[in-house]
């Protein structure tokens, strides 16, 4: 069973409604969820916040966190996930912000992706180093990990 | 050259900034655009408005249009595209709302997809009948057609 189908069934069981807040994956997570017929029962909306302005305006990410920690940080991932629950009708939201590549820096290498998961009351964040797998593979790995985080959250 | 790469080059040439407003494609258009390295120069944000509430709250689609014409209509597609330009920093936005299937009705068959394209000043809408190709194929056809509309608009 695909991750998205597992998630769909689980969300239905739990009565959960999902939102997504994506930067480097650019809509791949919402696309994967809505790939499954019947997803309208458990998916509310997705925020594809590619620019910093979009993160601030759509999700209420703070300029301070962007300046202090950068867009690829657990602080920003957490604010993205929290904002996605607040600015939607979802009960749970996942966020993804990372360096898909090509390129990176000494401080933030290609393949680093920060995730957040929020249920409104609480937010949890995590950083994964997928490594320099190439843009396409980093994005796919990040998409699948975001789906996995949602599944874990609802399990 | 892929549609997304053609679009990226064209948008750079024209100094255009893109936003997307997606219903049935669920983020596939923004995912395709951001698949290309360098897309951050021309892509601002995406609105994945899967529910009616999301269309109203994120894009300012009117309850009247949803009630009167339904979510899959040129009226709603037009309001989605206009809303996406207004609620972003983009100079051009494309919208997609359709019946990916499975299923449909006598009034709105599977494979019908409405598109909107807005530059702020003007909005243009169109309906395509992709036919009952299956959910996956309808979504891919709609994604590619949305990219084509953006390319046409910028050409």
- Rounded-to-integer distance, Cα B147 and Cα B32, Å: 9
B107 pLDDT exceeds 90?
no
pLDDT at site A103: 78
- Contact of A97 with chain B, judged by CB distance below 8 Å, is answered with no
Give Cα separations from A27 to A94, B33, B62, B63, B118 (angstroms). 12, 10, 25, 26, 21
A104 pLDDT exceeds 80?
no
- Domain carrying residue B144: 3-154
Q: How many beta-carbon pairs below 8 A join chains A and B?
A: 119
- Looking at the DSSP bridge assignments, the partners of residue A98 are A113
- Contact of A135 with chain B, judged by CB distance below 8 Å, is answered with yes
- Contact of A102 with chain B, judged by CB distance below 8 Å, is answered with yes
Q: How confident is the model at residue B126 (pLDDT cuts 50, 70, 90)?
A: very high
pLDDT at site B68: 97
pLDDT at site A80: 98
Share of chain A above pLDDT 70, in %: 99
Q: Where would I find the H helices in chain B? A: 3-14, 28-34, 52-59, 63-69, 74-86, 135-154
Contact B118, B81 (CB under 8 A): yes
- Contact of A17 with chain B, judged by CB distance below 8 Å, is answered with no
3-class SS of residue B111: coil
Stretch A53-67: mean pLDDT: 98
pLDDT at site A108: 86
- CATH label of the domain that carries residue B133: 3.90.950.20
Stretch A68-94: mean pLDDT: 98
The whole-model pTM stands at: 0.97
Question: Can you read off the two tokens belonging to residue B6?
Answer: 């053609």
CA-nearest residue to A43 within chain B is B50
pLDDT at site B36: 96
Bigger pLDDT: A105 vs A89? A89
pLDDT at site A23: 98
pLDDT at site B12: 98
CA-nearest residue to A57 within chain B is B88
Domain total of chain A: 1
- Looking at the DSSP bridge assignments, the partners of residue B95 are B21, B116
- Rounded-to-integer distance, Cα B121 and Cα A78, Å: 36
A97 pLDDT exceeds 80?
yes
pLDDT at site B103: 78
Q: How confident is the model at residue A105 (pLDDT cuts 50, 70, 90)?
A: confident
Q: How confident is the model at residue A107 (pLDDT cuts 50, 70, 90)?
A: confident
Report CB contact under 8 Å: A48, B26. Answer: no
Mutation site, B20, B32, B49, B50, interface A, largest A CB count within 10 A: B50
B108 pLDDT exceeds 90?
no
State pLDDT tens for residues B27-73.
999 999 999 999 999 999 999 999 999 999 999 999 999 999 999 99
Q: What is the mean pLDDT of chain B?
A: 96
pLDDT at site A101: 83
- Rounded-to-integer distance, Cα A5 and Cα A34, Å: 10
DSSP state of A99: -
State pLDDT tens for residues A23-52.
999 999 999 999 999 999 999 999 999 999
From chain A, the residues in CB contact with B51 under 8 A are 40, 43-45, 89
Question: Can you read off the two tokens belonging to residue A61?
Answer: 């990410």
pLDDT at site B105: 76
- Contact of B25 with chain A, judged by CB distance below 8 Å, is answered with yes
CB-count exposure of residue B122 (10 Å: 0-12, 13-18, 19+): exposed
- Rounded-to-integer distance, Cα B134 and Cα B96, Å: 17
HEC string of chain A equals CCHHHHHHHHHHHHCCCEEEEECCCCCHHHHHHHCCCCHHHCEEEEEEECCHHHHHHHHCCCHHHHHHHCCCCHHHHHHHHHHHHHCCCCCEEEEEEECCCCCCCCCCCCCEEEEEEECCCCEEEEEEECCCCCHHHHHHHHHHHHHHHHHHHHC
pLDDT at site B3: 97
* A31, A49, A54 member nearest B27 (Cβ): A31
State pLDDT tens for residues B14-28.
999 999 999 999 999
Identify how many contiguous H helices and E strands chain A contains and give both numbers. 6, 5
- Contact of A39 with chain B, judged by CB distance below 8 Å, is answered with yes
B104 pLDDT exceeds 90?
no
pLDDT at site A10: 98
Report CB contact under 8 Å: B31, A47. Answer: no
């Amino acid at each position: 069973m695909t991750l998205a189908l597992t998630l769909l069934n689980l969300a239905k069981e739990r009565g959960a409604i999902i939102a997504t807040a994506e930067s480097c994956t650019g809509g791949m997570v919402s696309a994967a969820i809505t790939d499954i017929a019947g997803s309208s029962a458990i998916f509310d909306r997705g925020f594809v916040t590619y620019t910093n302005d979009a993160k601030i305006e759509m999700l209420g990410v703070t300029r301070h966190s962007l300046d202090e920690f950068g867009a690829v940080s657990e602080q920003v991932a957490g604010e993205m996930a929290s904002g996605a629950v607040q600015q939607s009708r979802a009960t749970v939201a996942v966020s993804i912000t990372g360096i898909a590549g090509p390129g990176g820096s000494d401080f933030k290498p290609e393949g680093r992706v920060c995730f957040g998961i929020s249920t409104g009351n609480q937010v949890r964040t995590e950083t994964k180093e997928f490594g320099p797998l190439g843009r396409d593979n980093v994005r796919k790995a990040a998409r699948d990990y975001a789906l996995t985080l949602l599944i874990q959250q609802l399990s």
